[in-house]
């Protein structure tokens, strides 16, 4: 067998190094030389060359491993730089740590300085739920020791290591995970420890110092990435909060601008003489929903929106709430109703009720409260104007009722007996037409508490109708244009009664054709209207109106002009006209019928006609006077009219 020369054997070792052979292959040249009977000197040289080659091979393996580790760290740095979520960063770190250290499990805990503990945040390779929920007080257990001292620590056998404080719940979680060898390194930012990175094995496999260095490098990268993620999260949160604040500022600015515009529009309403309905329209245009303007008694003055009225129980609740709100001020909510009182310091004039499901902010509430203030101002202005106008109207009507012109009962003005020129001037100022027909009304209401509201309604109604109104005790006197006094009386009774929510009785007289020529016309008509009202009250015809002609024979008795012809025409006119046109005897038949106690047979005997003729004539009367002419009240008036007709010849 040929024995290799030392130089040849060295080349063999170089070949082994070149192909990165396993350590066991470096024994083969020495074994072959010994088997070939090489000299001891040669064997010694080969042994020395083998050892040198093994050292070189070990160094090469360490260098390769170090290069792989550096490459892994570089890749990890790139991965962490691309991640923004904290959990994703921690997951990448523990996965890379477990693979690089060839460990059974890798995990990371982050410090909670407020609680004084380090808490499990991410694991890779864990099988225990209790372990994944673990919280470790600073200074307790291996992790607490590393977090507190900011120094790496490695144990070959966790359960038997006396170098740190053992806690039952920590040891139980570690035992459930079956961990034996554990390496922990601090995650530091400068001098501050923010957490601990671990690698562990479920068998007694100690971690070499270079493993601790590698894990420390991973921890350093992880600490920077965690800090960046936290900074990014705080920045994102700050930006979101800033955006939210900006949104609130913009909303507040928009609300203030909306309130300013609403205020300007409502101020313009006051200047140009708007009313509560105009204010309601502005509010609903700005705030939406439906706004009801109620007076002090809960009656609706105006509505803007969907026109759905308030229910009775809602109005009762609103009035109760409005009284309480008036004492403390502001706006309050009752279900989907927002209530703001319309008030002066000493008096509640009404209530604004906004129906909307939306939540009203402070600025929107201020809009509603400002609308209530403007409404109060408009109501006061309207009341003041109405009072002034009522005073002027009342003075003129008082003079007309008393037969005076400019306060003089004799009708003399500037030494002249005729005061019509002065009266016409005053009538023009009151928007009255001197040559138009007018009726006089006397309205009565039941309770003195209605005096103010009745006077206000009468003044407003008279002004709108171009008439006059005056309050005299418990009586409201109106002078209104028209020539149908009874119809006007019934209309006023209905409308004033609705405004007062109480029965109103109205007597009427007229028409008066020329106010300026006969100063006695208005006082006479007023006296007749009062007598009509008294008669209606005596007849218990409350909440009604009539003139003397409509009261039948009673009207004939109380009427100023004793209009007998008018009574005949209204009661018996159609029968009189029929007899005059046809030459018939219906009037005589009626006289005989009533004098015969309404018996057709006796009537036929006294008239010397057949009973069928009587029936035919009575049927004709029914067609002319109406089917109810034989009712007691109508029959009495017809008999009185027949007697009056006979007396008149």
Count of CB atoms situated within 10 Å of the CB of 555:
23
Count of CB atoms situated within 10 Å of the CB of 534:
15
Q: Which of 424, 417, 436, 425 is nearest to 480 (CA)?
A: 436
Do 152 and 183 touch, CB atoms closer than 8 A?
yes
Q: Which two tokens stand for residue 286?
A: 């700005």
- 39-48, 74-83, 223-232, 356-365: lowest mean pLDDT where? 74-83
% the chain with pLDDT above 70: 81
Is the pLDDT score of 319 beyond 80? no
What CA–CA distance (Å, rounded) separates 91 from 211? 20
The dihedral built from the CA positions of residue 523, 524, 527 and 529, taken in this order, carries a sign that is negative
Element (H, E) at 348: strand 347-355
For residue 217, the model assigns a pLDDT of 81
Write the CB contacts of 538 (distance below 8 Å, at least 6 apart in sequence): none
Q: Which two tokens stand for residue 63?
A: 């260098």
- Does the N-terminal peptide bond of residue 371 adopt cis geometry, omega within 30 degrees of 0? no
What CA–CA distance (Å, rounded) separates 463 from 480? 10
pLDDT in tens, 477-490: 888 888 888 899 89
Q: Can you tell me the mean pLDDT for 538-545?
A: 80
Is the pLDDT score of 118 beyond 90? no
Is the pLDDT score of 647 beyond 80? no
Element (H, E) at 292: strand 290-295
What CA–CA distance (Å, rounded) separates 477 from 527? 11
DSSP state of 104: S
- 33-37, 187-191, 307-311: lowest mean pLDDT where? 307-311
Is the pLDDT score of 607 beyond 80? yes
Count of CB atoms situated within 10 Å of the CB of 234:
10
Q: Which of 190, 197, 231, 181 is nearest to 93 (CA)?
A: 197
Q: Which two tokens stand for residue 158?
A: 């966790």
Q: Can you tell me the mean pLDDT for 219-230?
A: 80
Is the pLDDT score of 328 beyond 80? no
For residue 331, the model assigns a pLDDT of 78
Do 543 and 493 touch, CB atoms closer than 8 A?
yes
According to DSSP, the residues that pair with 153 across neighbouring strands are: 184
Is the pLDDT score of 1 beyond 50? no
Element (H, E) at 226: helix 209-272
Q: Which two tokens stand for residue 585?
A: 């005897």
Q: Can you tell me the mean pLDDT for 273-284?
A: 76
pLDDT in tens, 560-586: 555 556 666 777 778 888 888 888 888
DSSP state of 357: S
Q: Which residue has the higher pLDDT, 284 or 76?
A: 284
For residue 623, the model assigns a pLDDT of 86
CA distances from 50 to 1, 4, 40, 60, 431 (A): 21, 14, 15, 15, 135
Element (H, E) at 554: helix 553-558
Q: Which residue has the higher pLDDT, 4 or 18?
A: 18
Q: Can you tell me the mean pLDDT for 333-361?
A: 77
Name the band, by pLDDT with cuts 50, 70 and 90, for residue 225: confident
- 1-15, 119-133, 320-334, 607-621: lowest mean pLDDT where? 1-15
For residue 618, the model assigns a pLDDT of 87
- The full DSSP string for 382-420 is HHHHHHHHHHHHHHHHHHHHTT-BTTBTT--BTTBS--H
Is the pLDDT score of 185 beyond 80? yes
- 61-65, 145-149, 558-562: lowest mean pLDDT where? 558-562
Q: Can you tell me the mean pLDDT for 259-281?
A: 73
Is the pLDDT score of 408 beyond 60? no
pLDDT in tens, 412-423: 434 333 455 666
Do 196 and 155 touch, CB atoms closer than 8 A?
no
Backbone angles phi, psi at 300, to 5 degrees: -80, 125
Is the pLDDT score of 105 beyond 90? yes
For residue 413, the model assigns a pLDDT of 39
For residue 279, the model assigns a pLDDT of 78
For residue 174, the model assigns a pLDDT of 92
Name the band, by pLDDT with cuts 50, 70 and 90, for residue 70: low
Question: Mean pLDDT score of the chain, rounded to an integer?
Answer: 78
Write the CB contacts of 265 (distance below 8 Å, at least 6 apart in sequence): 282
What CA–CA distance (Å, rounded) separates 477 from 9? 145
Strands 337-344 and 332-334: antiparallel
pLDDT in tens, 614-626: 888 888 888 888 8
Count of CB atoms situated within 10 Å of the CB of 57:
19
% the chain with pLDDT above 90: 8
Strands 475-481 and 504-512: unpaired
Q: Can you tell me the mean pLDDT for 103-129?
A: 89
User: Taking phi first (over 0 means left), then psi (-120 to 50 degrees means alpha), and beta for anything else, what does residue 122 get?
Assistant: beta
For residue 215, the model assigns a pLDDT of 84
Is the pLDDT score of 124 beyond 90? yes
Q: Can you tell me the mean pLDDT for 483-511?
A: 88
According to DSSP, the residues that pair with 122 across neighbouring strands are: 108
Q: Which of 184, 164, 165, 188 is nearest to 106 (CA)?
A: 184
Q: Can you tell me the mean pLDDT for 345-362?
A: 77
pTM: predicted TM-score of the whole model, two decimal places: 0.42
- 3-7, 65-69, 200-204, 394-398: lowest mean pLDDT where? 3-7
Q: Can you list the alpha helix ranges (DSSP code H) found in 273-361?
A: 276-287, 312-328
- The full DSSP string for 474-512 is TEEEEEEE-S-HHHHHHHHHHHHHHHHTS-EEEEEEEEE
Name the band, by pLDDT with cuts 50, 70 and 90, for residue 502: confident
What CA–CA distance (Å, rounded) separates 242 from 535? 80
- 206-220, 394-408, 572-586, 628-642: lowest mean pLDDT where? 394-408
């Amino acid at each position: 067998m040929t024995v290799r020369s030392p130089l040849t054997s060295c080349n063999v070792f170089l070949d082994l190094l070149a192909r990165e052979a396993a350590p066991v292959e470096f024994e083969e040249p020495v074994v072959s030389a010994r088997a070939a009977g090489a000299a001891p000197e040669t064997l010694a040289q080969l042994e020395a060359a083998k050892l040198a080659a093994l050292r070189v091979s070990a160094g090469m393996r360490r260098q390769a491993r170090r290069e792989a580790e550096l490459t892994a760290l570089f890749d990890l740095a790139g991965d962490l730089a691309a991640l923004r979520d904290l959990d994703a960063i921690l997951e990448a770190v523990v996965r890379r740590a477990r693979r690089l250290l060839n460990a059974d499990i890798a995990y990371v805990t982050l410090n909670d300085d407020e609680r004084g503990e380090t808490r499990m945040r991410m694991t890779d390779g864990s099988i225990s739920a209790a372990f994944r929920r673990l919280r470790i007080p600073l200074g307790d257990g291996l992790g607490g020791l590393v977090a507190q001292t900011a120094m790496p620590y490695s144990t070959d056998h966790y359960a038997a290591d006396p170098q740190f404080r053992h806690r039952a719940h920590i040891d139980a979680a570690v035992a459930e995970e079956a961990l034996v060898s554990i390496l922990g390194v601090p995650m530091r930012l400068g001098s501050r420890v923010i957490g601990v990175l671990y690698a562990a094995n479920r068998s007694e496999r100690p971690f070499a110092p270079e493993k601790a260095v590698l894990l420390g490098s991973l921890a350093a990268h992880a600490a920077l990435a965690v800090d960046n993620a936290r900074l990014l999260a705080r920045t994102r949160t700050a930006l979101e909060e800033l955006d939210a604040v900006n949104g609130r500022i913009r909303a507040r600015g928009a609300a203030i601008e909306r309130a300013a515009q609403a205020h300007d529009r409502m101020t313009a309403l006051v200047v140009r003489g708007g009313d509560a309905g105009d204010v309601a329209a502005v509010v609903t245009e700005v705030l939406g929903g439906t706004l009801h303007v109620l007076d002090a008694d809960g009656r609706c003055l105006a509505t803007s929106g969907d026109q759905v009225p308030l229910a009775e129980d809602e109005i009762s609740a609103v009035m109760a709430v409005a009284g309480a709100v008036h004492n403390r001020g502001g706006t309050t909510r009752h279900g989907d109703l927002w209530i703001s009182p319309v008030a002066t310091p000493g008096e509640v004039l009404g209530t604004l009720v906004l129906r909307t499901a939306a939540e009203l902010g402070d600025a929107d509430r201020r809009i509603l409260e400002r609308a209530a203030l403007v409404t109060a101002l408009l109501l006061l202005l309207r009341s003041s104007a109405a009072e002034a106008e009522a005073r002027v109207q009342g003075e003129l009507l008082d003079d007309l009722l008393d037969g005076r012109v400019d306060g003089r009962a004799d009708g003399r003005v500037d030494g002249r007996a005729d005061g019509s020129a002065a009266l016409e001037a005053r009538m023009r100022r009151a928007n009255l037409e001197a040559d138009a027909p007018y009726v006089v009304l006397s309205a009565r209401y039941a309770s003195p508490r209605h005096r103010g509201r009745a006077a206000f309604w009468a003044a407003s109604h008279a002004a709108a109708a171009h008439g006059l109104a005056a309050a005299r005790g418990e009586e409201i006197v109106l002078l209104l244009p028209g020539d149908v006094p009874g119809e006007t009386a019934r209309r006023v009774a209905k409308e004033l009664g609705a405004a007062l929510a109480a029965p109103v009785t109205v007597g009427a007289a007229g028409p008066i054709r020329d106010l300026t020529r006969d100063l006695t016309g208005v006082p006479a008509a007023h006296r007749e209207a009062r007598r009509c009202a008294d008669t209606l009250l005596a007849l218990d015809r409350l909440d009604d109106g009539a003139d003397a002609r409509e009261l039948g024979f009673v009207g004939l008795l109380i009427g100023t002009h004793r209009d007998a012809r008018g009574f005949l025409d209204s009661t018996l006119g159609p029968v009189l006209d029929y007899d005059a046109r046809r030459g018939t005897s219906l009037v005589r038949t009626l006289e005989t019928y009533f004098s015969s106690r309404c018996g057709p047979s006796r009537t036929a005997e006294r008239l010397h006609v057949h009973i069928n003729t009587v029936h035919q004539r009575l049927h004709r009367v029914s067609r002319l006077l109406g089917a109810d002419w034989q009712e007691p009240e109508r029959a009495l008036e017809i008999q009185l009219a027949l007697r009056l007709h006979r007396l008149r010849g």
